[in-house]
Structure 1
């Protein structure tokens, strides 16, 4: 059987609140679907694998966007999904014959939300627009000066609009101004969603704590003092140390013992995570992306034979600091005494750690099929991404953020 892996790409509404996830499945041998199976078999695997893992677990209670090829549109009885779980995407490659149009109508009658995928322009799909709830507009394939006209034309059919492949803040702001309802693209996985010119006063202490934890010159005593003076943080740290995840043979009752048993880097990593989590009062997709990226960087580093997987975890986590703190990354890093290598990795993807971060970001966007990543087989990269996704959900539950 051909192995599959999954990624999940968030879809946001106009207020940048979570709307849904698109589940992205690929042939794990090449980190893309290059035709090892036909579209119908691929969709069957997607549905089966997602059901085995659990839709609620994969999407954290949000709808899942899933592509439907020709056969599933012509034989809609093959789709075992709950209409509350999924938005069904009609691929741009389908032949809109009578059976296909009838199948779309029947799916809609069953209560499914129907989306038209990768739309650019033209009237080829006008026949089904009355049956379509959401049109996914491929903004990279359509010239920017044509966006307004096409959006207005689609609005006349009563469709909601989802801009996909949004790559820049400028594109996002323009499309939001044109009335687009939902947004998806690599821009939202990058740490550039929010901006500010100064750290909000309430976040200064947060950054100072992170700076102290990750100062390369910090000692065990420094970390012990920083963690111990915050009772809630100390309790969380000790709870983690004594959890099954750490596998210690006896109970640890002090922060100093925890540092000795687990090592300074591991404790520093987890305390940084707890500190960042404390900045959010409720679950936030930005924290999910930060944790997923951090774990993916760690897994890539370990599989690639690097000696610094903990440092790579920290770089992955910190690469989302500007999003998490609503402040440009360069300004945040100015207040943190990080090593030159870590700073270069974060700001320019330079050096070995930067290469790991760059690989993780390409994996998140599904754009790594042709990229060499520490010599790791692309199929293994896909499995690492799936592992990072599942690990993230477990950690969020441990932190009480899920």
Structure 2
């Protein structure tokens, strides 16, 4: 196996003890269910540097993920971890949970050689799976003969819509699926409806299994702006809770749709919530949880009431992560009431996309506390920076994360931990409704 010669002119490698915030960007299947996360950190300083700098950065990425507790998430999801060809000999790779990790391999600082191919084969023999973006491995990176060997190792082919022009994508879609029929395709950075149409109905559409990007993350509106009858009933129950209606009035609404009660009790009784005994009725829910906590759990049902909206599960997961993350920040500040209200802020932040109505109209019957409404409708007030931080974490915007962390006088490592815990908690709550990740 070839070993690269050490660089004598690399200079000092000055990297921080951790990479700061590393976002969990969801990867969806064809049913728009989250089945994996993409972990990739920006390295403006080392991207054009030497192999030693790339290895140092990738080792830092892996250690940061370990410190964040990210691998706890992989009981429920797979992970794509972006790493350079220069880093294939890192000892940290041997400690990854192979069953759950796919290495998204990027070109190194030097052209691919036989040593790189041998290291990739060794990683595969150890159980790790590989994802490759063919457009990234052009003639400047790999020779034609080695390209055949390289792509034959790929379990997943990545088509990056942000980085590739149509003239690059077309031949890839035409040729590669026939030459590598066992590889699945991962559409990365899907930004428009046209991109998604190409994935689902263009050449080799049947090969596309995984999707990622702002178009999917934003949630598409339903064709009609009318609120679904199931969602309308949930909104009515929430209105009754806010106006202190009698218990029998609330129970009457649940009797009109017994599935709502079943779903509510499943969420409330999820083991992660740690109730001392199971709640079996609305009367018990009101007695043991109180109206505020019951209102909180009813918000989840808005995302499950409409059965014909395939984007609802993704919106629910995204809303829950925002809500749980913001709630943890409120608890850290020491105010349980503020924590509950921060949860509602995150939970209702995608209500306009869910109901396909203006957000002000969606929130109007709920009579939310003023700080919640101010943050959502005007991006101002006490809760606005917390909401902005949740969105910045979600969008992997490190500059904005750093600025908001400083504004809120928080520690970045704490924010990392809280965000990871929010993702883990969300997966545990939704566990019964989710598919087993594909092998």
| Superposed pair shares fold, TM > 0.5 | yes
Summarize the alignment of residues 61-210 of structure 1 with structure 2, pairs less than 5 Å apart. 63-70=78-85, 73-74=88-89, 79-80=94-95, 84-93=99-108, 95=110, 96-108=112-124, 112-116=128-132, 119-120=135-136, 122-123=138-139, 124-125=141-142, 127=147, 128-143=150-165, 146-149=168-171, 151-152=173-174, 154-155=176-177, 157-158=179-180, 160-179=184-203, 181=208, 182-190=210-218, 192-199=219-226, 203-210=228-235
Aligned partner of residue 102 in structure 1, secondary structure? helix
What number of residue pairs does the alignment pair up? 383
Are 1:384 and 2:418 an aligned pair? Answer: yes
Q: Paired residue for 2:428?
A: 394
Q: Give 1:269 deviation, angstroms.
A: 0.7
Q: Paired residue for 1:39?
A: 58
Are 1:22 and 2:32 an aligned pair? Answer: no
Q: What is the root-mean-square deviation of aligned Cα atoms in Å? A: 4.7
How far apart are the structure 2 equivalents of 1:287 and 1:219? 25
Is the CA contact (8 Å cut-off) linking 2:105 and 2:132 kept in structure 1? yes
How far apart are the structure 2 equivalents of 1:149 and 1:305? 57
Shift in CA distance, 16/145, structure 1 to aligned 2, threshold 3 Å: farther
Are 1:359 and 2:389 an aligned pair? Answer: yes
Q: Give 1:385 deviation, angstroms.
A: 0.5
How far apart are the structure 2 equivalents of 1:242 and 1:46? 27
How far apart are the structure 1 equivalents of 2:93 and 2:273? 40
How far apart are the structure 1 equivalents of 2:152 and 2:261? 57
Q: Paired residue for 1:53?
A: 72
How far apart are the structure 2 equivalents of 1:118 and 1:380? 37
Q: Which moved more, 1:129-138 or 1:377-386?
A: 129-138
Q: Which moved more, 1:100-109 or 1:146-155?
A: 146-155
Q: Deviations for 1:238-290, whole angstroms, at most 9, x for unmatched residues?
A: 99489894778x99998578657755322211233356445569994443333
Is the CA contact (8 Å cut-off) linking 1:25 and 1:46 kept in structure 2? no
How far apart are the structure 2 equivalents of 1:308 and 1:54? 27
Aligned partner of residue 79 in structure 1, secondary structure? helix
Q: Paired residue for 2:250?
A: 226
TM-score by length of 1: 0.72
